[in-house]
Amino acid sequence: MRLGIVRGHVTLNLAVQAFLAKTLVVLEPVTMENLCAGNGLGGGKALVAIDSLGAAEGQVVAFTEGREASNPFWPDAVPVDAYCSLIVDSISIQP
């Protein structure tokens, strides 16, 4: 999983059946430098993920990529690249 900051939500007009009633969030991945600085900045290339946890804008989430991102919808086939697995409460970095 990588870490990302929720920057917004995506609303679809037309979508494939599998995406109905799913929440999509725009995530900005966080670099180690920004994570340590705690400056609220990301630094990575933005991507869209499915979120079932209700993450709010500005919150940091850990998201799964790849085939495992669609596991939560098993046995349904959902064309998902990224899935928000957890909402981060706190991170303690031990240098």
Residue type, 22: K
End-to-end CA distance of the chain: 21
Distances (CA, A) of 4 to 16, 18, 20, 21, 59: 25, 24, 24, 22, 8
Closest by alpha carbon to 2, among 37, 39, 40, 46? 46
Per rule CB under 8 A, is residue 18 in the interface with another protein? no
Does 40 help bind another protein (rule: CB under 8 A)? no
- Count residues near another protein (CB under 8 A): 38
Stretch that binds another protein, among 10-18, 20-28, 57-65 (CB under 8 A): 57-65
Q: Would you count residue 87 as binding another protein (CB under 8 A)?
A: yes
Which residues here bind another protein, judged by CB under 8 A? 1-3, 29-33, 35, 43-44, 52-54, 62, 64-69, 71-75, 83, 85-95
